[in-house]
Chain A
Amino acid sequence: MTLSPSTRLRLRAAVLSLTLFAALLAVWYVSTRRITSDASASRLAPAERDTLLAAGLRAEDLDHYTAAGLDFTQLRQIATLGLTRADIEMAGGLAALGITSAGAPGKKTGGFPTPAEVGRRLVEALRDPFYDRGTNDKGLGVNLAHSLRRVAIGFLAAIAIALPVGFALGMSPLLNAALAPYIQILKPISPLAWMPLALYTIKDAEKSSLFVIFICSVWPMLINTAFGVAAVRKDWINIGRTLELSRFELATRIILPAAAPTIFTGMRIALGIAWLVIVAAEMLIGGIGMGYLVWNEWNGLRLDNMLVAVLAIGLVGLLLDLAVARLLALVRYQE
């Protein structure tokens, strides 16, 4: 069997990738298995169990908290309070009630989820991604949709501003030089640093998050558009001149296609940043979205759900990047 060198390289890279993945899973499995086996999972005597159930603790909650390492006294406290697991997690988890699980000192007891647990959660989340059971319990798909919607709105607004302004900067060296200091100073400001200012002026968390997405995606697009337009080869502009094209035709027929690869590269960078920023912004504004989901699962110590959310953020980010890369390939040309 003969394979071309590039195919061989890809094949070897795939094998190496899969090996690394297997190694990661193995390390993960080994390190979490030890903790769940000896650290937590307190045992209750059948009599204790009956007492708790009689006191009004639901059987499924009982199993959950026993597995998390709570002992009989602590469980009786919960039973006395008359709280279900959902109530407790709404209130901010066990720690908020002053109950900590009683593992041996220095040992982790909540337990980092095993690969299998996370896998199971992932399947569950994918099986029913759009369920909605109240404010803090919505499906992965619902949260993803809200994050994507925010990114889309902020990003489109940024395109609407960055393209025309970038064109003006690229075509006018005067404007470019005059605005350069502002862009250079505003660009390195973390988008989240705008959040308080946005909240104060806009007085609306949702719109503030859109603004933060707008402000973080506008700079790469602005700078790349200006650069792409300014770098269009003089020869190509001259072709337009000899053909007596109007300024508008020159811009749309020659400068735009010539600068398109640079402009789309700016969009690709901007979209990557926007996806990074929306997660952080949603942690601040709360309500709904992937950032809020991660933070909410963390507060409830549901690390398995949290990991599923983190994984989803990564996968969606990858898909977004691939989509823009596809567009970029359409407008790219070779000189």
Chain B
Amino acid sequence: MDHKEITGPSLNQAVVFQGHSLLPWLTTYQNVAFSVRAKWRSWSREQIEAHVRKFLKLVGLDHVADRKPHQLSGGMKQRVGIARAFALDARLLLMDEPFGALDALTRGTIQDELVKIWGETRKTVFMITHDIDEAILLSDRVFLMTNGPRARIAESVIIDLPRPRSRADIIHHPHYYKIRNHLVDFLVKRSHDLAGTPAPGGPLSFPPDVNPARAPAPAAA
């Protein structure tokens, strides 16, 4: 980031964990405030309160601010995790399969919310997912990883579908299935074939850009 290597966890990157990872002895409000207080140590109680309330409203959880995590549904917990991450106002957000444990319906709602918050804050979000449709719906760019051992990023796929995107309309876009087929093809076949092979441009090279919607993909040729 900013031409510097990220070497470890820090306040410059906010993380949304795979499990919700809320502290169970704190309320929703206190969980978000915990992070806010750690970042802005000189802030007054009122400043913290205003900041926390703003992000709880953003994920629509202001009404459960005083509940403990075990009193929330899985989707709500994950939204608290997202509010906590965005409230840190970090330049980069890391999300490690954040919606993996949610049912399809909740997942859709939270994806929409994530896009909305992202639109309002314009942070760089780096998300790890196994869900192809989720990747296409949310991202500008998909990095495809080969299978292990010595997994590497094989391709950087550009998703240039117009925004705002909605789950209902996006599937009718002429490019949607071109992209989707490219990704599925990679996951099913090529990620396996490429496993263990060295990167063509050396270990530190940037993966090649691919745009399946414009040029025929190499694999399809």
Contact = CB atoms under 8 A, between A and B. Distances in A.
Question: Which one of A243, A260, A334 has the greatest number of beta carbons of chain B within 10 Å?
Answer: A243
Interface in A241-270: 241-245, 249, 253-254, 257-258, 260
B91 interface: no
B11 interface: yes
Contacts of A331: 25
B39 interface: yes
Interface string A321-335: 000000000010111
A105 to B, nearest CB: 68
Given A257-B23, A257-B25, A333-B25, A242 B68 contact: no
Contacts of B10: 242, 244
Contacts of B19: 235
B148 interface: no
Q: What 8 pairs between A and B have smallest CB-CB spacing?
A: A333-B25, A243-B38, A235-B21, A334-B70, A242-B9, A333-B24, A241-B9, A257-B25
Interface in B27-42: 34-35, 38-39
A126 interface: no
A242 B10 CA distance: 5
B38 A245 contact: yes
24 contacts: A235-B17, A235-B21, A236-B21, A236-B23, A238-B15, A238-B17, A239-B17, A239-B21, A242-B9, A242-B10, A242-B11, A243-B11, A243-B34, A243-B35, A243-B39, A244-B9, A244-B38, A249-B38, A254-B23, A257-B25, A258-B23, A260-B25, A331-B25, A334-B70
Nearest to A331: B25
Contacts of A244: 9-11, 38
Interface in A194-241: 235-236, 238-239, 241
A242 B23 contact: no
A335 to B, nearest CB: 5
Nearest to B90: A242
B14 interface: yes
B13 interface: yes
A256 B14 CA distance: 24
A157 to B, nearest CB: 28
A238 B68 contact: no
A236 B20 CA distance: 10
Interface size range of chain A in the complex: 10 to 19
B24 A335 contact: yes
Question: Which one of B10, B21, B24, B25 has the greatest number of beta carbons of chain A within 10 Å?
Answer: B25
A254 B34 CA distance: 10
Interface residues of B, number: 19
Contacts of B38: 243-245, 249
A333 B11 contact: no
Interface string A170-201: 00000000000000000000000000000000
A92 B23 CA distance: 62
Given A235-B19, A335-B70, A242 B13 contact: yes
Contacts of A335: 24, 69-70
Interface in A65-91: none
A239 B23 contact: yes
B17 A333 contact: no
Nearest to A239: B21
A242 B25 contact: no
Contacts of B17: 235, 238-239
A258 B25 contact: yes
Nearest to B19: A235
A334 B24 contact: yes
Contacts of B9: 238, 241-242, 244
A334 B71 CA distance: 9
B88 to A, nearest CB: 8
A245 B17 CA distance: 18
Contacts of B34: 243, 253
Contacts of A254: 23
Interface string B132-169: 00000000000000000000000000000000000000
Question: Which one of A239, A242, A243, A331 has the greatest number of beta carbons of chain B within 10 Å?
Answer: A242
B15 A242 contact: yes
A334 B27 CA distance: 12
Interface string B37-67: 0110000000000000000000000000000
A253 B34 CA distance: 9
B117 to A, nearest CB: 19
Given A235-B21, A244-B11, A258-B25, 15 more contacts: A235-B17, A236-B21, A236-B23, A238-B15, A238-B17, A238-B21, A239-B23, A242-B10, A242-B15, A243-B34, A243-B38, A244-B10, A245-B38, A333-B25, A334-B24
B29 to A, nearest CB: 16
A41 to B, nearest CB: 65
A245 B19 CA distance: 21
A245 B11 CA distance: 10
